[in-house]
Amino acid sequence: MQDELAGSNVTISTLESQQKMKADEWVAVENKLKEEKAQLEDHLSNLSKQFEDAQNVHANLKVSVDEAKKETAEWKHKYDHLESKVREAEKLNLEQVSSI
């Protein structure tokens, strides 16, 4: 009976040791996952900031492009108007020279 009891105690002790090892493994895995989660959250935060910065740059560039287009249109209008006046002046000069 004592032999059986001793064998049972060894078995129980072995099972308890295995259970403790598994619990330690789970704690280690849990800690590793928590660390990876923190790293991923930090990375996501950095990417979110970069994305926000990129959106701001995009918005600023869009404003600059729109202003450049408006300015280009204004200069084209001035050019067309001046070109028309030059043609009129050339035509008037040609008429005056022809009438001489």
> Could you read off the pLDDT of 62-96 as tens digits, one per residue?
999 999 999 999 999 999 999 999 999 999 998 88
* End-to-end C-alpha distance for the chain, whole angstroms: 145
DSSP 59-91: HHHHHHHHHHHHHHHHHHHHHHHHHHHHHHHHH
Cα(66)–Cα(59) distance, integer angstroms: 11
Q: Mapping DSSP to helix (H, G, I), strand (E, B) and coil, where does residue 19 land?
A: helix
Q: Is 80 helix (H, G, I), strand (E, B) or coil?
A: helix
pTM: 0.59
Encode pLDDT of 28-65 as tens digits.
Answer: 999 999 999 999 999 999 999 999 999 999 999 999 99
